[in-house]
Amino acid sequence: MPSKRALWSEDDLVAAVRAVQCGRLSMYKAAERYKVPRRTIRNHLQTASLKKTLGRKPLLNEEQEAELVSRIVRFAAIGLPVTPEILRRLVFKFCETNAINHPFNQQAKVAGKDWFRTFMKRHPEISRRKAQFMNPARAQKLNKFIVDDHFQRLNEVYDKLDLKTRPEKIYNMDEKGCRLTIHHQQTVLAQKGAKRVHLQSSEHAESVTIAGCVNALGTSIPPMIIFKGKRLKPELYDNLPPGSLVEKSAKGYMTNELFKEFLKHLARYKTPGKCLLIFDGAACHLDLSIVEVADSLDIALYCLPSNTTHELQPLDKAVYRSFKHHWDSEVLLFKEQNPDKKLTKARFNIILTTVWSKCMTHSNITSGFRATGLYPFNPHAIPETAFAPSVLSEAPAPVPDVVDVENSPPHVPSRPTASETPQTSTSMQEQRIDNTPKKSSEMFYRMVYGSSSSDDEDNVPLAQVKRASFKQLLPTPAKNTEKTPTIRRKAINYRGTPVTKDLFDKNKIEKKTSKMKSTKGAKSRKENRESWYCHACKQEQETAMRMCCKCSKWYHEECVGLTEEDDDDFECPDCA
């Protein structure tokens, strides 16, 4: 039955309180006229609040919960989302630190499940989500510097080939690995409380590579299917999408030779004239012989920056995202209709044909090109939130004058000093404030995400302040500045680049000079500097830097994809 409590509205409450305040009605008359309880009117007159609230007051006030919500949103944006368990431990620690009376369990040292449930009800903008894993290299590489440089180079290619108004000549290709089994865990029905619910399916099934290719007009060419093996059985050619190219390799993956065959396959279906093919920087795609074959087929090649394809490649962004979902649905249907049959490579073709038609739709393809900014050409298509994982600090940039921290942009970094020791600050917090076991929220966060941020506010020991904020208890983690023991030469596609013969000639020269180069320029990279501000990541970090030889702006080597082996004649994208 619906509740009969508080049938009056907030407007009735406001009208009743206003009538009593101005003396037009007594408290009894106002309660009778507006159907609001007299004691409710009295309480709101005392508190001067005109908001309708029922039940107990929340443990945290509105300002505290608003700050907590902002920290949750912030950590989710930078790729370090807070789990319910960490949140409950954090709230318990906050109440203990600020001497807030609470009914939480002192032994478990976590906030209760009831508090968490009501907190989620009060803040519908926060929801439970299943997080996708992101490689730290992807988080760091997808930054404003690399993406702006990619669109600048792509703009030059578009202008050179006159492609901004010719979407039928802009192609994107990518491989998709498909295992001959179900890809995702399925939601099934079973007895309530059952401890063992299994779905019989092969855990180590054979994989087949599918190379798809689409253009910005919304059309796709027949896929290239690569089976694992030394010979192809006749049945592997049957029941595939019309025009499909079937090949084999020892491991079932794309190779240099197979990529050349794919280019010839594309040439049979592409529009006449010079076309542009955009792809990722897999090793099998980058070879001088591949460029020669592409030139003979009137195909220009452009390689996307490494570790950025999840945001910059149309097939990854829109088309392949739904592939596993449709694949699992068709595999389950096949198992239902053929319970005594095994999913083999020959039967794989039947399922692929159905799934392929569901993924390669016109709307999926065009939305992928639009979301990545490839067509219509839009350098601002990637939202600022996509760059959040690459810029962790949220304190303001250092300036000689006094800066208003609260009104500064949240993503602009601060200046760390050499005397700051976050680990020491952390240990003080553990000794003086936190008596929880090692699996407390803060220790768990350090164990998973590393040390805390170097923000001035975050580095203040909690024992030295009267009240600890959620920003102090949950500071933004700092970047890991530890260098790898081996220094690797930068990849050919560390930035987006047109793939031409000159690219491989230049790469050979760089390999040769890197072996003969002395320690020239080491002083410029490692000298003691007053400022370590980088114009790429907008952060202060004491690490190897490079100065642009034209505009004299400084950049962190890791932000522009350089190593100590690279030449000192560095030009930033603005000058280049």
The whole-number pLDDT of residue 568 equals 59
Residue 454 scores a pLDDT above 60: no
516 band by pLDDT with thresholds 50, 70 and 90: very low
All residues at 6 or more sequence positions from 382 whose CB lies less than 8 Å from its CB, including other chains: 147, 311, 312, 372, 373
- Mean pLDDT along residues 309-325: 92
Residue 398 scores a pLDDT above 50: no
pTM of the model: 0.69
507 band by pLDDT with thresholds 50, 70 and 90: low
Cα separation, 73 vs 125, in Å, equals 9
The token duo for 186 is: 């399925």
The token duo for 460 is: 């203040």
Domains annotated for the chain, with CATH where assigned, are: 1-55 (1.10.10), 62-122 (no CATH), 136-183+205-385 (3.30.420.10)
Average per-residue pLDDT for the chain: 80
Cα separation, 216 vs 375, in Å, equals 6
pLDDT tens for each residue of 98-117: 999 999 999 999 999 999 99
The whole-number pLDDT of residue 413 equals 38
Pick from 439, 419, 417, 443: which is nearest to 430 by CA?
A: 443
Q: 273-282, 378-387, 460-469, 540-549: which has the minimum mean pLDDT?
A: 460-469
Return the higher-pLDDT residue of 278 and 469.
278
Q: Environment class of residue 450 by beta-carbon count within 10 Å: exposed (0-12), middle (13-18) or buried (19+)?
A: middle
Return the higher-pLDDT residue of 295 and 511.
295
Return the higher-pLDDT residue of 551 and 275.
275
Return the higher-pLDDT residue of 433 and 320.
320
Alpha helices in 206-322 (DSSP H): 256-269, 288-296, 309-312, 314
Residue 422 scores a pLDDT above 70: no
The whole-number pLDDT of residue 554 equals 85
Q: 123-137, 346-360, 361-375, 410-424: which has the minimum mean pLDDT?
A: 410-424
Cis preceding-peptide flag for 376 (omega within 30 of 0): yes
- Mean pLDDT along residues 242-265: 95
Cα separation, 209 vs 214, in Å, equals 17
pLDDT tens for each residue of 427-440: 333 333 333 333 33
Cα separation, 38 vs 35, in Å, equals 9
